[in-house]
Amino acid sequence: MADDYDPRLYGARWAEHYDEWHAGIMDDEGAVAALAELAGDGPVLEFGVGTGRLAVPLAARGLDVTGVDISEEMLAQLHQKSDRVTTVLGDMTTVQLDRRFSLAVIAFSSIFVLATQQDQVALFRNAANHLMPGGRFVLETTAVTAPSGDGNSRLRVVKLGHDRLVLSAGVLDPMTSYYNGAWVVIEPSGAKFYPVQGRNAPHHELDLMAELAGLALENRWGDWKGGPFTAQSTDRAEERARAATRDPHRCWRSRPRSSAPVGHGPRGPSGRHQPREPARAGDPRSRSWTRANCRTVRCGARPGPR
Ligand SMILES: C[S@@+](CC[C@H](N)C(=O)[O-])C[C@H]1O[C@@H](n2cnc3c(N)ncnc32)[C@H](O)[C@@H]1O
């Protein structure tokens, strides 16, 4: 991890330009329609809600939307557009809200802004803990592939104008998958840096994180229209330039605790981990066990977001 990693830095630098620079890059309309269908009439929780690119139009459809973000600056931009989204300033890996949601979502590779694998697993667990029985967690990321180009570093031109050059540069640490990068905007008045830092994780690793959180994969799509995810799935110039395929929008549901992997307990005298003690009434684990077991979970059924 970079010494200067601070999760609030992204918003502090990007907030002012975020909407302008991201306009038209993503399939916002498709995402909103698909998420609205997956949520039904239930409440929606978005982690890393940012300026409300998705949360604002979802709330405008009449959905009850809560958004968590660690950046005051990003949330301030959201509030300028709408007062219909309930916002919470906090860390998505640890925030605890006193309610449950039918849909939790983290979009636009925002899980990769987290710096470590531990944080990413914590996010999955936190998402699972905020779901109603049978609730869904949807995650959108780019598909991470092996670094291309010169070793583990990347440099590409994003935009070139008469008085402006925008570069995207970064270095990937192959041992931790931590990407330390930035967009660099060079103008006659000087250069500005917009950090893009965090940990990349391939889709199979994300699937394991979902398993650890007791979630069962329900679906995987290559786009918001329900298209298949294949090695050729790619629809963003930026991702093509990085030789990355566009990742699935994955959807997991809570499932019976008994089929979830057993967590590790403390190490015993042999050095091996002992099984965890069974959860007792009042223990948060037993609550989630009961919640999950009183539902029939449809696994593999394709609801088809659109
Ligand atoms: C790439 S932006 C995505 C914004 C929005 N979801 C979208 O799709 O346009 C990532 C967001 O995650 C937020 N973020 C970064 N680390 C966070 C953390 N630990 N907890 C909550 N939000 C975080 C950033 O402030 C930023 O708003």
Average pLDDT, the chain: 79
- Ligand 1 centroid to Cα of residue 299, in Å, is 29
- Ligand 1 centroid to Cα of residue 9, in Å, is 11
- Ligand 1 centroid to Cα of residue 265, in Å, is 32
> What total of structural domains would you count in the chain?
2
d(CA 47, CA 28): 16
Strand positions, DSSP E, the chain: 44-47, 65-69, 86-89, 101-106, 131-142, 153-161, 164-173, 178-187, 190-199, 215-221, 246-254, 264-267, 273-275
> What is the position in ligand 1's atom list of the atom closest to the CA of 18?
9
The pLDDT tens digits of the residues spanning 97-121 come to 999 999 999 999 999 999 999 999 9
**Sign, CA torsion 192/21/32/63:** positive
**93 shares a domain with 171:** no
Residue 129 in tokens: 């803990």
**37 shares a domain with 169:** no
d(CA 103, CA 251): 10
Residue 125 lies in a domain: yes
What SS3 class is residue 200? coil
Among protein residues, the one whose CA lies closest to atom 16 of ligand 1: 7
The pLDDT tens digits of the residues spanning 144-191 come to 765 555 678 889 999 999 999 999 999 999 899 999 999 999 999 999
Residue 274 lies in a domain: yes
Residue 1 lies in a domain: no
- Domain with 49, as residue range(s), is 7-144+198-262+270-293
The pTM of the full predicted model, rounded to 2 decimals, is: 0.80
**97 shares a domain with 13:** yes
